Amino acid sequence: MIQITLIQIDNYGPWTVTPGPRAEPDLQTLQSRLYGDLEREFGAHGGIVFFNRFDNLIAVSNGMDYDDHLLIQQSIRNRYPITISMGVGTAETAIEAQKIATKMIQNGGGAQSAERCEILNIDSLAEDEDSFVQIAHIDINDITTNLTDKKTAYDTSIKVYDVLLTLMKELSEIGAMCFFIGGDNYMAPSNNISKDQLRDALKRVDEKTGIRLKAGVGIAKKAGRAADLADIGLEDIRAGLTDDSVLIFNDLD
Amino acid sequence: MIQITLIQIDNYGPWTVTPGPRAEPDLQTLQSRLYGDLEREFGAHGGIVFFNRFDNLIAVSNGMDYDDHLLIQQSIRNRYPITISMGVGTAETAIEAQKIATKMIQNGGGAQSAERCEILNIDSLAEDEDSFVQIAHIDINDITTNLTDKKTAYDTSIKVYDVLLTLMKELSEIGAMCFFIGGDNYMAPSNNISKDQLRDALKRVDEKTGIRLKAGVGIAKKAGRAADLADIGLEDIRAGLTDDSVLIFNDLD
Amino acid sequence: MIQITLIQIDNYGPWTVTPGPRAEPDLQTLQSRLYGDLEREFGAHGGIVFFNRFDNLIAVSNGMDYDDHLLIQQSIRNRYPITISMGVGTAETAIEAQKIATKMIQNGGGAQSAERCEILNIDSLAEDEDSFVQIAHIDINDITTNLTDKKTAYDTSIKVYDVLLTLMKELSEIGAMCFFIGGDNYMAPSNNISKDQLRDALKRVDEKTGIRLKAGVGIAKKAGRAADLADIGLEDIRAGLTDDSVLIFNDLD
Amino acid sequence: MIQITLIQIDNYGPWTVTPGPRAEPDLQTLQSRLYGDLEREFGAHGGIVFFNRFDNLIAVSNGMDYDDHLLIQQSIRNRYPITISMGVGTAETAIEAQKIATKMIQNGGGAQSAERCEILNIDSLAEDEDSFVQIAHIDINDITTNLTDKKTAYDTSIKVYDVLLTLMKELSEIGAMCFFIGGDNYMAPSNNISKDQLRDALKRVDEKTGIRLKAGVGIAKKAGRAADLADIGLEDIRAGLTDDSVLIFNDLD
């Protein structure tokens, strides 16, 4: 079971324009700092947060309970001009778990409701014995020589976001989420997706975008460890230790 | 003339896996903090930075000279385990300026060259008398009621990134760049794009994605002020002060 | 038993002037960010860090083991241009525990040795059954009306630092450490110091500095909880719920 | 003329205990981040901030005007749960300038007044032609071999704070302020204090504490540059380029 936490800034839209519009560099700083801080807080417990839309962040939070979430929620209130609500769900696939997490937040009220504040709704938590996180770390083959050092910075960006969107759509079809993590890197919480399914999905993205991808996959009880294993898989592919475009390391075998 | 600075982390890819892969939550924190700090540094001089790909950030830097850039470059070296290179270009359109800025960096060496370190190559600077920044702040109509509060968090994200990619492509055709700035918000440095051109581009995005957009546009000598004016324009559209999907405020008239 | 972690930046002095002196605002930012980040990391496990001298920080780390410390050490390496070494000791008093922690670091090499890097030496850890943290939160009576709003900012500072030094000396005599935590506030890890001993120490500080002090004291298994209880004690004294200058709340009774 | 800005968090004491006491690690993080951010903001304009008491920070702000201060004040409001007030004064000595800056803030209301919010009172600004900042960077001779590597961490701290307090008192007698900047380092804005006066003050501190000190002194139009020159002076003394305990570099000669 994968455990997903959806983190949503309370009533953020209205706040950004009250009393008048707030300076954009300030908002960008606020959002990036919030993301960095949440990454530290979840990371200290073996979790990982993805910035997603910055005002709606998505974390893989296996191993974290109600008190862990509550401490984070209070810490944000004590250091930021905004508060956050959280919904938590667990399921066999990442897509299903985020669906439940979303429902948990929506049950608490609207994202732009002035009444909703610091909801913390947990549908269920992954127990240690069935805690299971699969994460794929996907990147583009030879982006530096083919794109970064040859094309303009912005043309490279368009290509990277094209691949992102195509990955998001393809992987959501088979139950995974996919997030951009900078450079030419993507991470996909992908419980219960087989090696064949993933290889085929990467191939479909290649056909649609003309970009060849590879993926290291890690399986562990917590997200941080799964990501570490995924990184090692990716390194081994880069080093030519396999001809396959997908390599899996499983901590739970 | 718009002045664009391309900021690139030196030799970042190899560093992230040396001696072994570094923990992903650490890298995400590093990247978000670097972005937040650069936003403060450029923001202190009236500029704006967009995270773009996190290892390649793009700033609108009108009003900033060689020494301003140098101080930022040294400050990063003193506080981070990585260094940055920068290329600066000015042109009539944002796309053209980033092209020159990219060239300035590429002239200094490859993004994964161990030799290249702290390049600061400036092709030209915008002089005060012809400094001119046009920025559009674009958002989605009624996203909270139509998407955030109804769909799953991830389905909303797919839609938001779909709009982003379509905007990136459409606007690059007419000389503008477009960046995601969180939530359902996008910012487009868009010098020399007329109201009609912008309205038509938004319409084409609507046709392709089924999402209706609006844009406040600001024109000023510096990016921060242009963004402030764009925000006010967007607020006025939201408030129903105009029926148009685009509203421009020009500080230089 | 109180568990103390001494955190020391490796070879920091030489680094700050290599190749030439680094800009002071950069160093101040680096130090304050490092302090803030360590506070988050230890705080996520129920600990507390005091900035002490910024390049030598002192944490109360009951409940944290080798792996918890290692993860923090690696995270700093991945995000800062410097590395840290840590020594851990446990004892009946805070002074004794820091003495052991210091020894653990010194065993690893000198603070300005280029060879020493990322030492993590643990003499012993507090087991859950005998984990015990006593923290006093001390502040100055009526500082705002008597000093801040009347004297110059700097004269107030001299007084606050005078009280700090006198507290540091008096409390070290009876086995406690004392740290400045901002404003007119001090925190003293003070295991095995009785209410009478503490009241007498505050009185001696009063006699030497002319400043009246009060102290809320918390006792718990971890530092964060002990500090929370100390805060409540201090609030109750402020609210006039007791005439005593010291109030203790004990979670372990 | 030296220009001093006193920065005070509005109504901070009451906020820290409303509705109940806020967690100390959160407050320590808030304070250290605020300090780091203010250091960046003032640093971007050539200024320097000292943390002083964390809720009352003191900056040397020559070269910064009303708008520069206002932008910082607004940025803090947009990113923190608290707001700041600022008072600015200029004078021949640092002590006199902070006295005026304090008065400017006190005129706006009490530090714990719920009514006072975001005061920005400027008595006067240093004009470019008479802008003049003298800063001394003072450190302890051979602290690593004599103290850090031999004594316990806390005994070293007591000594370092003993020297701090003695410096604060001695230097305030002759018109300078002195701040702890970490390690065994102190910085003293010290306009119009001669080399002889400073050497004598260091000698008096030595006699009272048994600690030998040295000082590099920089003089420039702005604080950042003055601090850089002070650092070079200190390095030259360390390198044995002079036998004097004080070395001055003057950018304005």
Residue C91, pLDDT above cutoff 90: yes
Cβ <8 Å between A40 and C43: no
For an interface test with D, give the residue of B40, B49, B67, B231 to mutate (most D CBs within 10 A).
Answer: B40
User: Fold for domain D2-130?
Assistant: Alpha-Beta Plaits (3.30.70)
Cβ <8 Å between D26 and A75: yes
Q: Please tell me the predicted confidence (pLDDT) of residue A147.
A: 86
Cβ <8 Å between B161 and A165: yes
Q: What are the start-end ranges of the H helices in chain D?
A: 12-16, 24-43, 66-79, 94-107, 143, 153-173, 195-209, 223-238
Residue B206, pLDDT above cutoff 90: yes
Residue A253, pLDDT above cutoff 90: no
Q: Which residues in A lie closer than 8 A to residue B58 (C-beta atoms)?
A: 153-154
Q: Please tell me the predicted confidence (pLDDT) of residue D149.
A: 86
CA distance C42 to chain A (A): 9
Which whole number is the average pLDDT over D76-93?
98
Q: Which residues in D lie closer than 8 A to residue C177 (C-beta atoms)?
A: 154
The whole-angstrom separation of Cα D249 and Cα D94 is: 19
Domain borders along chain D are: 2-130, 133-250
Write the pLDDT tens digit of every residue in C37-54: 999 999 999 999 999 999
Q: Which residues in D lie closer than 8 A to residue C33 (C-beta atoms)?
A: 32-33, 36
A-side interface with D, Cβ within 8 Å?
A: 22-23, 25-27, 29-30, 33, 74-75, 77-81
Give the three-class secondary structure for C140. strand
Q: Please tell me the predicted confidence (pLDDT) of residue D143.
A: 86
Q: Please tell me the predicted confidence (pLDDT) of residue A150.
A: 85
Read off the pLDDT band of A31 (50, 70, 90): very high
Cβ <8 Å between A71 and C40: no
Where does residue B196 rank: exposed (0-12), middle (13-18), buried (19+ CB within 10 A)? exposed
Q: What percentage of chain B carries pLDDT values higher than 90?
A: 93
Nearest chain D residue to A15 by CA: give it: D78
C-side interface with A, Cβ within 8 Å?
A: 37, 40-41, 43-45, 71, 75
Chains that touch C (3 or more CB pairs under 8 A): A, B, D
Which whole number is the average pLDDT over A153-174?
97
For an interface test with A, give the residue of C33, C39, C40 to mutate (most A CBs within 10 A).
Answer: C40
Q: Which residues in B lie closer than 8 A to residue A187 (C-beta atoms)?
A: 24
Give the three-class secondary structure for C242. coil
Nearest chain A residue to B163 by CA: give it: A165
Q: Please tell me the predicted confidence (pLDDT) of residue C149.
A: 86
C-alpha distances (whole Å) from B160 to each of B140, B207, B211, B230 are 9, 15, 9, 20
Q: Please tell me the predicted confidence (pLDDT) of residue D146.
A: 85
Residue B216, pLDDT above cutoff 90: yes
Q: Please tell me the predicted confidence (pLDDT) of residue B148.
A: 83
Nearest chain D residue to A81 by CA: give it: D81
ipTM for the predicted complex:
0.97
Report how many Cβ contacts below 8 Å link chain B to chain C.
Answer: 42
Q: Please tell me the predicted confidence (pLDDT) of residue A79.
A: 97
Chains that touch D (3 or more CB pairs under 8 A): A, B, C
Write the pLDDT tens digit of every residue in D22-52: 999 999 999 999 999 999 999 999 999 999 9
Nearest chain B residue to D64 by CA: give it: B44
Read off the pLDDT band of B149 (50, 70, 90): confident
Report how many Cβ contacts below 8 Å link chain C to chain D.
Answer: 227
In CATH, the architecture of C133-250 is 2-Layer Sandwich (3.30)
Contacts 24+ apart (CB under 8 A), D102-107: D102/C151, D102/C152, D102/C153, D102/C154, D102/D6, D104/D6, D105/C153, D105/D6, D105/D8, D106/C149
Q: What are the start-end ranges of the H helices in A180-219?
A: 195-209
| Residue A143 and residue B110 in contact, taking contact as beta carbons nearer than 8 Å | no
Nearest chain A residue to C72 by CA: give it: A44
C-alpha distances (whole Å) from B244 to each of A92, B169, B205, C85, C205 are 47, 23, 16, 61, 70
The whole-angstrom separation of Cα D69 and Cα A110 is: 37
The CA radius of gyration of chain C, in Å to the nearest whole number, is 19
Residue B5, pLDDT above cutoff 90: yes
Mean pLDDT value across chain B = 96
Write the pLDDT tens digit of every residue in C121-163: 999 999 999 999 999 999 999 888 888 888 999 999 999 999 9
Q: Which residues in A lie closer than 8 A to residue C37 (C-beta atoms)?
A: 40
CA distance D181 to chain C (A): 7
Residue A194, pLDDT above cutoff 90: yes
Chains that touch B (3 or more CB pairs under 8 A): A, C, D
Nearest chain B residue to C18 by CA: give it: B78
Which whole number is the average pLDDT over D241-253?
95
For an interface test with D, give the residue of A9, A28, A72, A79 to mutate (most D CBs within 10 A).
Answer: A79
Q: Please tell me the predicted confidence (pLDDT) of residue B111.
A: 87
Q: Please tell me the predicted confidence (pLDDT) of residue D115.
A: 87
In this structure, what is the dihedral angle of CA atoms D239, C10, D144, C57, given to the nearest 10 degrees?
130
For an interface test with A, give the residue of B15, B29, B34, B53 to mutate (most A CBs within 10 A).
Answer: B53
Cβ <8 Å between B40 and D43: no
Q: Please tell me the predicted confidence (pLDDT) of residue A125.
A: 98
The whole-angstrom separation of Cα B169 and Cα A210 is: 16
Q: Which residues in D lie closer than 8 A to residue A74 (C-beta atoms)?
A: 23, 26
Mean pLDDT value across chain A = 96
| Residue C29 and residue D36 in contact, taking contact as beta carbons nearer than 8 Å | yes
Q: Please tell me the predicted confidence (pLDDT) of residue C253.
A: 85
